[in-house]
Amino acid sequence: MSTDIKFACLTYHAIGNEFTQYVISEDQMRNQLEFLSQEGFVVEGFEQLESRLRANGIFPGKYALLTVDDGHESATRVADLLERCGCNATFFLTRDKALGQPGYLRPQEICELRRRGFSLGTHGTTHRNLTAMPERACAAELEESKQWLEDVTGEDFRRIVENDSGFYLRRRIRSSLLWLPKQILCR
């Protein structure tokens, strides 16, 4: 695998009529995606990136990784634009925003994104600055949000019934790693 792989990593948050560093217009988003498509870029999310890395790092000459962060309700319109331009992305969701903050995706919409072939990731439980948190609090923030996202999408269940060997291996390793501290704490 070549170590000089270079690609663009594009991060979006929302589309709308506000003009902030986190919001662009739908026309701007469409124009940017059409540009990438016309220029021959392959635009993917982290799930596809992982597959490429596992397959000995075979990358197209023009490659871009695209993420949509926070789970704003406009993410479904972003997904429509991505599909029209033949692009993919990873949508990073924040649990507490999705569980009740107005203007954010709800579980049904999250499942729809997954059904449409987009990869999903967690942006934390509360959207706090992970790099400024103590290690244990950071781990809890990520674990809680990961578990929530797996519950929403049914991904854990899917891996169980499809007999995903990687899923079982990770579970065994996790159980083994947790066994020793439990033994020490119980004594």
Q: What is the pLDDT of residue 185?
A: 46
* CB-based contact 126:141 (threshold 8 Å): yes
Q: How confident is the model at residue 172 (pLDDT cuts 50, 70, 90)?
A: low
Residues contacting 46, CB < 8 A, separation 6+: 65, 67, 90, 119, 121
The 10s digit of each residue's pLDDT in 90-147 is: 999 999 999 989 999 999 999 999 999 999 998 889 988 888 989 999 899 989 999 9
Q: What is the pLDDT of residue 182?
A: 46
| Bridge partners, residue 24, by sequence | 15
pLDDT for 56 equals 80
What is the reported pLDDT for 130? 85
Q: Going by C-beta distance under 8 Å and a sequence separation of 6 or more, which residues neighbour residue 114? A: 120, 153, 155
Confidence of residue 58 (pLDDT cuts 50, 70, 90): confident
| Stated pTM of the model | 0.80
169 versus 18: the higher-pLDDT residue is 18
SS3 157: helix
| CB proximity list for 109: less than 8 A, separation 6 or greater | 73, 75, 76
Distance CA 139, CA 92 (A): 17
CB 23 within 8 A of CB 16: yes
- Which one-letter amino acid corresponds to residue 8? A
What's the pLDDT score for residue 179? 54
Region 75-81: mean pLDDT is 98
State the pLDDT at residue 184.
52
| CA separation for the pair 145, 63 (Å, rounded) | 29
Specify the length of the chain in residues: 187
Work out the mean pLDDT of the chain and round it to a whole number: 86
The residue among 176 and 107 whose pLDDT is bigger is 107
For 9-56, how does the pLDDT look when each residue is reduced to its tens digit (9 = 90+)?
Answer: 999 999 999 888 899 999 999 999 999 999 999 999 999 999 988 888
Which bin fits 12, alpha (ψ -120 to 50), beta or left (φ > 0)? beta
Domains and CATH numbers, the chain: 8-153 (3.20.20.370)
